Every structure is written in C-alpha cells, then in structure tokens.
Amino acid sequence: MTPGRLVLLVALLGSSAVVVYGLFLDRTGSTIALTVAGLAVLGITFAIVALRLGAASVRTANDGHGLRALLSALMGGISALLASGTLGAAVILGLLARPI
C-alpha cells in the first residue's frame, strides 16, 4: 500500500469515527461542532478519492483495460456523490450551529 493510500484510508476511518461519535455518542454541547468538523474532513477526503479514481480510470482506459476503467470511474462517481453529500451536510449543520 502506497503512503498516499494509507493517508486517505486513515483520514476516511478517522473522520468516520469522529462523525459517528459526534452523532451518536457525544452528549455535550460540542456535538454539532464535532460532527461538522468530521463531516468536512470526510467530504474533502472523498473528493480526493474521487479525483484519484478518475485519474486512475483514464490511465487504465489508455492501457486497454475497459472493465477496470469502468469500475474505477463508477467508484469515483460514487465517491464524488458522497463528497458532495457530506460537505452539504457539514454546511447545513454548520449553519444550524450558529446562534441567531
């Protein structure tokens, strides 16, 4: 496993753990702030994964591996959707956390 993949894996697992902790386990006043921070990191990580998978899709298509390119592009698209969803949730929760 390359160092870049390891960093992305640690970021995905760590930010997912922070989001789960913030949503379900934390009962203090910083619940929303913790969840927003975790969702922001998770969204940025999913966006990086989507970009890397898109580049891998183009690279494998040029090498003549059609099925691998298709699966890589599909996973990249799913990662992009997850990135937009988590970043949107972070923005909405961040707006809700602000005092009026």
Answer for the pair 86, 42: CB distance below 8 angstroms, yes or no: yes
pLDDT band at 100 (very low <50, low <70, confident <90, very high): low
- Residues contacting residue 73 through CB under 8 Å, at least 6 positions apart: 53, 54, 57
Per-residue pLDDT tens for 38-95? 999 999 999 999 999 999 999 999 999 999 999 999 999 999 999 999 999 999 998 9
pLDDT band at 27 (very low <50, low <70, confident <90, very high): confident
